[in-house]
Amino acid sequence: MHGQTHPISLIATKFDCYLKPTLEKSVCGGNFTATIDRTKWNIKKYSVFGMTKNLTLNI
């Protein structure tokens, strides 16, 4: 964001692999979550109105 990169840690809340008959291959997928600090990317807009600096991402 904003031309900057910062590491984040993803937490797997659900992950599974299974055989997909139409592809005749194993496929995997999952749900992941992470909490980022918006101020690391210099995003401070609306913080004076009570918006928190932490943002939870659900992927």
Question: Which tens digit of pLDDT belongs to each residue from 37-58?
Answer: 988 888 777 766 777 889 899 9
* Rounded Cα–Cα distance for residues 41 and 8 (Å): 12
Predicted local distance difference test score (pLDDT) of residue 14: 97
**3 state SS for 8-56:** CCCEEEEEEEEEECCCCEEEEEEEEEEEEEHHHHCCCCCHHHCCCCEEE
Predicted local distance difference test score (pLDDT) of residue 48: 67
Q: Is the pTM of this model over 0.85?
A: no
